[in-house]
Structure 1
Amino acid sequence: MTESTSTPTSNSASAPRRVAIAGASGRMGHMLIEAVRNAPDLRLAGALDIAGSPALGADAGAFLGFDSGVSIVSDLRAGLKDAQVLIDFTRPEGTLAHLAVCRELGVQAVIGTTGFSDAQKAEIAEIAKDIAIMMAPNMSVGVNVTFKLLEMAAKAMATGYDIEIIEAHHRHKVDAPSGTALKMGEVIADALGRDLKDCAVYAREGITGERDPSTIGFSAIRGGDIVGDHTVLFAGTGERIEITHKSSSRVTYAQGSLRAVRFLAGQRAGLFDMYDVLGLR
């Protein structure tokens, strides 16, 4: 992801950053609201949900039994007017609508939404010329360290090893492969000097012939309440190496998001990822 060349903004060390949450009544929204509530340097300043949601008008902290003073709204300008940064784990179309208003109001954004098309990613990059955006398919610190390990492994095992990516998620996930699995593929392909579009194999059935050693295979499992498991298999002759990350709770995504919120405090504009946030570049 392209880094910004912009200069940092000045921030008050004492004033909490004002955060808005998109999808406030969902599972991830609840996790984020609770995380912001427990962070002394952050304050909930807005809560968004889709029109028609039964949660509209309710206090965003009601599920925790406390009064946050922030009502869940569908009006984007009303929900973002007091915020400095939006955290968004929704759907591509919704995220783009949110970003348009963020751009208008000068609100930064932390995006964990997955499933964007190339055209939508290009649109986000254009918006990032005016506001600071941190976008990553997975906010987990551990997953992003795993990306770095995969880059090292791919370079060391560039020949003689077949590469397969296996991911598993809960039954409610709507996109496949997961954004994290695709990012793993991109990291590996880049390390090998390949384009993932040219070497990815997403399905096998029937008489497929021998495996092309230049390909990167993907397999997706959906079932139960699996939060997120990802394994990359480097299969050679006489040995195989497996690099695995397993999530047991969404809390790791929430905590990574808060680190991103803090990182953006020093940025005027630009498109960043978790490598920037964690200093892994």
Structure 2
Amino acid sequence: MTRIGIYGSEGRMGKTIAEAITEAGAEFAGGCDAGGDPVALARQADVLVDFSVPAALVGNLGAAVAAGKPIVIGTTGLSEDDLQNVDDAARHVPVLQTGNTSLGITLLSALVKQAAARLGTDWDIEIVEMHHRHKVDAPSGTALLLGQAAAEGRGIDLSRHSDSGRSGMTGPRREGDIGFAALRGGSVAGDHMVILAGNAERIELGHRAENRSVFAQGAVKAALWLRDKPAGRYKMSDVLGL
């Protein structure tokens, strides 16, 4: 039986993942939160899942590397330095890092990439997301994941073609940009819509998470899949064979 440990086990997602571990027939190896010992958890688990905070990432990655354990990272709001640390850890252990562990979002990302690749820049791409009032980062990690999929489809750098701060007299939309809009309110688990708007026609590709269980189930599936993989950097699309 695979033993799965959780960094951030006392958070909303951490508690939901703990339930999903049992439902999947795996064993919950325990959790580690602020003030805890990430190395001790890494030693007693077969695979780790991190849904903590960006500030804890370096320590959690270090613990995984020291113990030689695979780690799934679902923490969002990561910086470029954080992502570099993920790359560094992946040289030593299997690391799956994603902005969203939902299997539905994983498939949606593949569809967005394909649509962006097939349609020209005269089709404008806008990504609209809504989350609960407690979410602290915007755009969401999922919105950025979808934006990256669109950018990869077009063969462009998202950081140079991203627009997420429209306010006031912005002027006309710049061709080829990928726009983001973030909504916050209530208890929304996660709604995402990718709009491809052409002349006189529009394609809308969307996903609605009805509760956090979809993310927890995907995280556990990813952890079980990652357990026996060699060191390297993996994505949720690898779990689905996309």
SS of the equivalent of 1:237 reads coil
Percent of pairs with identical residues: 41
Task: Write the mapping of 1:1-281 to structure 2, written as runs, cut at 5 A.
Answer: 16-40=1-25, 42-51=26-35, 74-280=36-242
Contact 1:154 1:191 in 2 (8 A): yes
Is 176-185 or 151-160 further displaced after alignment? 151-160
Q: How far apart, CA to CA, are the structure 2 residues paired with 1:232 and 1:220? A: 12
Q: Which has the higher helix share?
A: 2
Is 166-175 or 262-271 further displaced after alignment? 262-271
Contact 1:108 1:264 in 2 (8 A): yes
How many residues were matched structurally?
A: 242
- 1:173-210: per-residue Cα shift (whole Å, max 9, x none)? 11100011011111111111111111101111121111
Structure 2: which 5+ residue stretches go unaligned?
none
State the structure with more CA Rg.
1
Structure 1: which 5+ residue stretches go unaligned?
1-15, 52-73
SS of the equivalent of 2:155 reads coil
Report what 1:71 is aligned to: none
Residue identity matched to 1:48: C
**1:95 to partner: Cα distance:** 2.1
With normalisation by structure 2, the TM-score equals 0.97
Residue identity matched to 1:198: R
Q: How far apart, CA to CA, are the structure 2 residues paired with 1:267 and 1:33? A: 22
Contact 1:46 1:80 in 2 (8 A): no
Deviation above 4 Å: which 4+ runs of structure 1? none
Calculate the aligned-residue CA RMSD, in Å.
1.1
Residue identity matched to 1:95: L
Q: How far apart, CA to CA, are the structure 1 residues paired with 2:239 and 2:139? A: 25
- 1:123-159: per-residue Cα shift (whole Å, max 9, x none)? 1111111111111110000000000110111122223
Contact 2:71 2:95 in 1 (8 A): yes
Contact 1:154 1:192 in 2 (8 A): yes
